[in-house]
């Protein structure tokens, strides 16, 4: 079908009609169905979950407060460090308190905790988190030093702090793990996923990781919730510390929180592409070669390579 020039010109310059009233109505009905099915608040209630964007701003501010002359504002001078750190922390912790209120309020649907108790709990958690920040900085210093010592291409500790995705992921993990320990698992998971999206490194905030931890290159590293990692451990890209199977209860639902990920003792090196599954122990000062598939414990001082690794069959599924 042809149209004349004037009609074509009118079509080009006319505002398209997307039938937005129908789309908006359909989306509202979909939201209402979901909220009714989930037992959620009324359609006109306020936001009831933390904001990923807000957490991203909070973590960026915390990184600046932890390393002001490296991760803080470009024009910061040492004479102003304390003022900047104090001002930044005051704003970041106040914002964190608001996000924590949302998480605890969301959780209170099942627990029945009242608003006054939620406020007291939120303030207590943020206060404890703030008190932990100097200790987090001290542990992060060991991580930065481990990255510098562990990579011959690194020219300075400043370079690894500014440039290495593994160091960025570990900074996020130290923050997320503290939130996880203090009873804010949703905020912790959001912090972990911010790092995951930026670095390709997936560390569950529940994982326990000792000082002097270094992830070299990093892309594709996965560390599960119940993993326990000792001190001075080094991982390379695409390493997985995952679960061999998921236990189920009598009704067939997955049992959550059970120890199901590896224990990696002090001074272990795990090379690129290695997959270690289940609640196995990698003994102190062991070396696990690249592309190894391991579902058994190895004693301290072991050196496992593809040539020495015995063939094993994974049963009952696998995961992280």
Q: Is the pLDDT at 314 greater than 50, yes or no? A: no
| Rounded Cα–Cα distance for residues 79 and 89 (Å) | 17
Q: The CATH number of the domain where 258 resides is what?
A: 2.160.10.10
Domain contains 227: yes
Are residues 273 and 237 both part of a single domain?
yes
**Dihedral sign from CA coordinates of 145, 151, 156, 162:** negative
Mean pLDDT score, 249-272? 90
Mean pLDDT score, 277-285? 98
For the entire predicted model, the pTM comes to: 0.87
Are residues 59 and 137 both part of a single domain?
yes
Please write the tens of the pLDDT for every residue from 37-53. 877 755 446 678 999 99
pLDDT given for residue 5 in this prediction: 67
Are residues 247 and 294 both part of a single domain?
yes
- Strands, DSSP E only, in 126-209? 202-203, 208-209
Mean pLDDT score, 75-80? 95
Q: What angle do CA 101, 102, 106 make, to 5 degrees?
A: 115
274-283 CB burial, b ≥16 within 10 A, e <16: bbbbbbbbbb
Are residues 291 and 153 both part of a single domain?
no
Domain contains 275: yes
Domain contains 142: yes
Are residues 233 and 97 both part of a single domain?
no
Are residues 157 and 288 both part of a single domain?
no
Mean pLDDT score, 262-283? 98
Q: The CATH number of the domain where 192 resides is what?
A: 1.10.3130.10
Phi, psi of 132, deg, nearest 5: -85, -15
Are residues 191 and 230 both part of a single domain?
no
Domain contains 151: yes
Q: Is the pLDDT at 313 greater than 50, yes or no? A: no
Domain contains 11: no
Domain contains 183: yes
Are residues 67 and 163 both part of a single domain?
yes
> Which pair of tokens denotes residue 24?
């908006």
> Which pair of tokens denotes residue 41?
């608040």
**Dihedral sign from CA coordinates of 51, 204, 208, 60:** negative
Q: 134, 168, 201: which is the final residue of a domain?
A: 201
> Which pair of tokens denotes residue 139?
């542990």
Are residues 289 and 236 both part of a single domain?
yes
Domain contains 15: no
Lowest mean pLDDT of 7-16, 194-203, 222-231, 288-297, name the range. Answer: 7-16
Domain contains 30: no
Are residues 127 and 229 both part of a single domain?
no
Are residues 260 and 128 both part of a single domain?
no
DSSP letter at 217?
S
CA-nearest of 141, 140, 139, 163 to 151 is 163
**Dihedral sign from CA coordinates of 310, 315, 319, 320:** negative
Query: How many domains in the chain?
Result: 2
Are residues 197 and 252 both part of a single domain?
no
Q: Which domain holds residue 277?
A: 220-320
Distances (CA, A) of 153 to 148, 164, 171: 9, 11, 21
pLDDT given for residue 281 in this prediction: 98
């Amino acid at each position: 079908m042809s149209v004349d020039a004037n009609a074509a010109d009118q079509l080009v310059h006319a505002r398209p009609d997307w039938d937005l009233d129908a789309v908006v109505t359909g989306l509202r009905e979909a939201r209402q169905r979901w909220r009714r099915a989930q037992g959620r608040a009324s359609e006109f209630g306020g936001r009831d979950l933390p904001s990923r964007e807000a957490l991203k701003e909070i973590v960026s501010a915390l990184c600046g407060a932890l390393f002001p002359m490296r991760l803080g504002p470009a024009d910061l001078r040492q004479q102003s460090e304390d003022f900047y750190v104090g001002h930044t922390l005051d704003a970041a912790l106040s914002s964190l308190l608001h996000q924590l209120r949302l998480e605890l309020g969301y959780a209170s649907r099942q627990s029945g905790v009242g608003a006054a108790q939620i406020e007291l709990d939120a303030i207590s958690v943020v206060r404890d988190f703030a008190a932990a920040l100097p200790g987090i900085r001290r542990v992060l210093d060991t991580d930065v030093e481990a990255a510098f010592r562990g990579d011959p291409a690194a020219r300075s500790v400043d370079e690894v702090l500014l440039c290495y995705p593994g160091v960025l992921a570990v900074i996020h993990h130290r923050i997320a793990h503290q939130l996880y320990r203090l009873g804010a698992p949703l905020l912790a998971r959001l912090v972990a996923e911010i790092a995951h999206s930026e670095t390709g490194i997936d560390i569950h905030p529940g994982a326990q990781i000792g000082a002097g931890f270094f992830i070299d290159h990093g892309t594709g590293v996965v560390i599960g919730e119940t993993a326990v990692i000792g001190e001075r451990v080094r991982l390379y890209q695409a390493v997985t510390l995952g679960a061999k199977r998921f236990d189920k209860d009598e009704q067939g639902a997955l049992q959550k929180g059970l120890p199901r990920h590896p224990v990696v003792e002090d001074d272990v090196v795990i090379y690129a592409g290695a997959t270690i599954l289940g609640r196995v122990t990698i003994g102190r000062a062991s070396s696990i070669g690249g592309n190894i598939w391991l579902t058994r414990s190895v004693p301290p001082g072991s050196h496992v390579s593809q040539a020495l690794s015995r063939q094993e069959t994974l049963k009952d599924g696998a995961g992280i």
